[in-house]
Structure 1
Amino acid sequence: MAAKKIGIIMNGVTGRMGTNQHLIRSIAAIRAEGGVLLSNGERLIPDPILVGRNEEKLSKLAKENNVERYSTDLQAALADDYNVIYFDSQTTNRREESIKQAIKSGKHIYCEKPTATSLEGSLELARLAREAGVKNGVVQDKLFLPGLLKLKHLIDSDYFGDILSVKLDFGYWVFEGDWQEAQRPSWNYRAEDGGGIIVDMFAHWRYVIDHLFGEIDSMTCIGATHIPYRVDEAGNRYKATADDAAYAIFALKNGVVVQANSSWTTRVDRDDLVTFQVDGTLGSAVAGLRDCKVQHRAATPKPVWNPDIPNTIDFRSQWESLPENRTYDNGFKIQWEQFLRHVEEDAAFPWDLLEGAKGTQLSDLGLKAWHEKKWVTVPSLEI
């Protein structure tokens, strides 16, 4: 079977997400499978060049993943016509300028979100890419989670009847870094470095809400910096200047109400690190990262409020888990395969830089609602 290589600049993959999800579980996995199968029967094989600021880290990462090319010179990688795609998973405050350089070099763009630190910056990237005629996409990995794919199946099959509300609960305890090492990088807690849970997570909630539940009409939000001081990777105590928790309500145009709690300062007492509970007139469902359980109208218990006697109902036992009727691949890998087909044979790929800008818009509006203590309208975006 014929095979063709495609050069991909991967900038910023020495970070946790870039290494694990984009390099190891996506690009390396696709290469191990012999490439992406195209509609003409050919195989498209990603040929990455790892780009970053630390040559030692790049060399080690390249060796561990059988990657032949790495460089600390982004400009040289952009100047090489062999490299067709530019991928960016740097910290948010570095992303915008690098993507602009890549667009100017004629590269197709695929990147993590947020795409920029402001809505204006995100919209400019979308406009520049359109004017340059380069294909572009933004990682929207939560849509490919097995739990949300199961939830989408229920929605498409009209399981819920009329959807009334969604309760989204995300988060876990991120250690402060003193007596136990933090699970997240210190820049996440510095607003001046692009940190904050609103900037980080609202980009995800935007595309999940848009693609599953409906268009957002308005919103309100309260943010908080619950842990005022943390300890960085070098053991230095620093002041947290970014929000580590956010409590939001989104009112959708179709009448659905979405409550979304996002926190790096909560201890988990639920089935997963994130859960989506959807309540409808005919039934309800709770989805996590992989699993989804349901409770139909006919199987709903009839509790009666009485604080004077012990509760006799085991509520959790009365939910039914959906069967595993299919095999689910890694969500990041699935979207990488779709983007590679989009570049090579113009296959459909709806998650472009304008979609990414919508995520930045929701983050900006969340911060605005918090600081101004009010509801804000979420207008449509155009470029």
Structure 2
Amino acid sequence: MNGVTGRMGYRQHLVRSILAIRDDGGVELDDGTRLQVEPVLVGRNRAKLAELAARHDVAEFTTDLDAALADDTATIYFDAQVTSERTKAILKALAAGKHVYTEKPIAESVAEGEELAEAARAAGVIHGVVHDKLYLPGLLKLKRLIDGDFFGRILSVRGEFGYWVFEGDWQPAQRPSWNYRAEDGGGMVLDMFCHWNYVLENLFGPVEAVMAKAVTHIPERWDEHGKPYAATADDAAYGIFELAGADGPILAQVNSSWAVRVDRGELVEFQVDGTHGSAVAGLFGCRIQSRARTPKPVWNPDLPTDQDFRAQWEQIPDNQEFVNGFRAQWEEFLRDVHAGRPHPYDFDAGVRGLRLVDAGYTSSREGRRVELDGSGPVSGSGDAAAVGPDAEAGA
């Protein structure tokens, strides 16, 4: 496990996934037996690794990735490093014959992502990319509604994501400073369009075209040491996505921002509107309004409304026990490795996310709608060597 000293790698992947699985006796397989796991911690800071290993009773840790990859008893490589370090490490792991599971984005460019996908196919290993948001209770409930044909014909999706990330001067920022430097792999489009691609394509249909605007609202921030730096990456993105739905075209609008104050029930919410009903899904909750229970408001700017619109929605019950989404996908990946079968959310899915990133930046830079096909933007796809904002896109 490479990169577990970082926030996401430590909390979600090490503690709440792998160590939780280990402490529960392993992953339960179809035949009732259990597949146990034991992490080997890899990183650049030996002192941090030693402290984590001691805290969590982990026997092995190292700053030597090559030595870790040479260990035949560790058959899976996991990467949660900063994006700029990911490609070369995964290529090493594939060359060593390891199965690979990685955080997204899988690379900094479409070309690098395709290189990883081809190398994984050539190595004949199982490969997967984190799709954690598909395992959120709110989105699982939404998927249940879609599968039950609650919506009728789905017309549109509206997503709101983000919160205020402090600049770091008078209050410490709650996200790492590299997230706001394009040269270090930061950027809202690169970070979140990979998420939106797999959410949209797995729930509603593949993205066929995008119009997007990437902006840097906060041009200067302060790093972990209190030093000011130029925020060269976009900290917000506003996108319109055209989807190929099963029953016809679907329009999705998704706003993503680290410079917005939250006035909604959860940090991310998706409203889905269909001919027979609507739903609003967040991280945990999902509220619905059927056609039969839809109110009939009348626009009157001269009188305040007497309707409590939010009270007219019904909460969907859990109906099942939801486990941590990162752990749920880890367990699926481990079962797939054990069975020798492909993981459904593989490197090709990661490449599709990068193609949407590329199209989003192209749209923002050129101020136009960009179409996608199976291989990415149809035309004007920008620099094939990198996906990211240029000086204008980040202005």
Which range moved further: 346-355 or 156-165? 346-355
The one-letter code matched in structure 2 to 1:35 is: G
Tell me the residue number matched to 2:70: 79
Find the residue that maps to 1:110 and give its secondary structure: strand
- For normalisation by structure 2, the TM-score amounts to 0.93
**Counterpart code for 2:290:** H
For the residues of structure 2 that align with 1:363 and 1:16, how far apart are their CA atoms? 24
2:271 is the counterpart of 1:291: no
Deviations 1:315-340 (CA, angstroms, capped at 9, x unpaired)? 00000001121100001001101111
Equivalences for residues 1-383 of structure 1 within 5 A: 10-254=1-245, 255-347=249-341, 349-381=343-375
- Quick check: 1:103–1:109 contact (8 Å CA) kept in 2? yes
* 1:338–1:347 Cα contact (<8 Å) kept: no
**Counterpart in 2 of 1:6?**
none
Helix, strand or coil: the match of 2:239? strand
- Aligned equivalent of 1:3: none
CA distance in 2, matches of 1:342, 1:22: 18
Deviates more, 1:56-65 or 1:165-174: 56-65
SS where residue 253 of structure 1 aligns? strand
Moved over 6 A (4+): none
AA matched with 1:369: S
* Secondary structure of 1:17 counterpart: helix
Cα distance per residue 1:233-270 (max 9 Å; x no partner): 01100010000000000011231000000000000000
**Residues 263 and 151 of structure 1, relative CA distance in 2, 3 Å threshold:** same
User: Unaligned stretches of 5+ in structure 2?
Assistant: 377-395
Identical columns (%): 58
Letter in 1 for 2:131: Q
What is the CA–CA distance in structure 2 between the aligned matches of 1:300 and 1:39, rounded to whole Å? 44
User: Which residue does 1:4 correspond to in 2?
Assistant: none
Amino acid at match of 1:159: F
The CA distance in 2 between the partners of 1:381 and 1:23, in whole Å, is 34
Q: Is the 8 A contact 2:126 2:342 kept in 1?
A: no
SS in 1 for 2:141: helix
1:312 Cα offset (Å): 1.1
**2-structure distance, mates of 1:333, 1:64:** 20
Q: Which amino acid aligns with 1:20?
A: R
- CA deviation digits over 1:94-126, x for unaligned, max 9? 000000000001000000000000001001100
| Equivalent pair of 2:165/2:173 in contact (CA under 8 Å) | yes
SS for the counterpart of 1:13 is coil
**Equivalent pair of 1:215/1:252 in contact (CA under 8 Å):** yes
> What is the SS of the residue equivalent to 1:184?
coil
Which stretches in structure 1 are left out of the alignment for 5+ residues? Answer: 1-9
Q: How far 1:58 sits from its partner (Å)?
A: 0.5
Answer with 359-368 or 95-104: which moved more: 359-368
> In structure 2, what residue type is equivalent to 1:31?
R
3-state SS in 2 of match to 1:227: coil
Shift of 1:348: 5.5
The code of the aligned residue for 2:229 comes to Y
Residues in 1 aligned to 2:272 and 2:50: alpha-carbon distance in whole angstroms: 46
Q: Which residue of 2 aligns with 1:5?
A: none
The residue matched to 1:377 in structure 2 has which SS? strand
Q: Is the 8 A contact 2:127 2:342 kept in 1?
A: no
> Is the contact made by 2:126 and 2:341 (CA closer than 8 Å) also made in structure 1?
no
2:214 and 2:364 in contact (8 A); partners too: yes
Contact residue 115 and residue 356 of structure 1 kept, 8 A: yes
